């Protein structure tokens, strides 16, 4: 299994976080970064807790964001451990859809993808 090769420059922990690849118009990079940072700081907003990680690989018009997954527990040392349930998965899917919709509505955003593990397609040998 592999992630899109474009995000491999970042170490992704899909057990603890959900990642979003945001494709934007090149001229809108600064505006989108400013708006998402401001929105992420609002405690009860749709983008609350969304963290900007940087560009996706060497692509100037793709930004990588993450948000903690539902169902996390922390021990006394602050180490998170995933604890999933069907209820958490349903809430997470709903929250992810809201995040995608909120980011997609920003001026200059062309597309938002939730990053997931997927089976790499095997190419035919020549």
The residues with which 21 forms a beta bridge, in sequence order, are 64, 113
Pair type for strands 59-68 and 80-82: unpaired
H-type alpha helices, 41-85: none
Q: Where in the chain are the domains?
A: 5-74+91-115
Distance, in Å, from the CA atom of 117 to the CA atom of 27, rounded to the nearest integer, reads 30
- Helix, strand or coil for residue 71? coil
Please give the average per-residue pLDDT across 96-122, as a whole number: 89
CATH topology of domain 5-74+91-115: Alpha-Beta Plaits (3.30.70)
pLDDT computed for residue 9 by the predictor: 56
Among 3-7, 38-42, 62-66, 81-85, where is mean pLDDT lowest? Answer: 3-7
Report the pLDDT averaged over residues 50-66: 91
pLDDT band for 84, please (50, 70, 90 cuts): low
The yes-or-no verdict on residue 5 having pLDDT over 50 is no
Alpha helices in 14-78 (DSSP H): 29-40
Choice between 11 and 102, residue whose per-residue pLDDT is larger: 102
To which H or E segment does residue 87 belong?
A: helix 86-104
């Amino acid at each position: 299994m592999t992630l899109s090769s474009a995000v491999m420059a970042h170490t992704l922990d899909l057990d603890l976080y959900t990642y979003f690849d945001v494709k934007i118009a090149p001229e809108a990079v600064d505006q989108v970064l400013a708006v998402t940072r401001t929105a992420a700081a609002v405690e009860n907003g749709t983008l609350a807790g969304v963290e900007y990680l940087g560009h996706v690989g060497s692509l100037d018009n793709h930004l990588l964001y993450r948000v903690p997954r539902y169902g996390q527990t922390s021990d006394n040392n602050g180490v998170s451990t995933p604890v999933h349930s069907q209820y958490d998965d349903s809430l997470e899917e709903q929250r992810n859809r809201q995040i995608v919709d909120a980011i997609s509505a920003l001026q200059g955003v062309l597309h938002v993808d939730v990053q997931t593990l997927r089976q790499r397609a095997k190419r035919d040998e020549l």
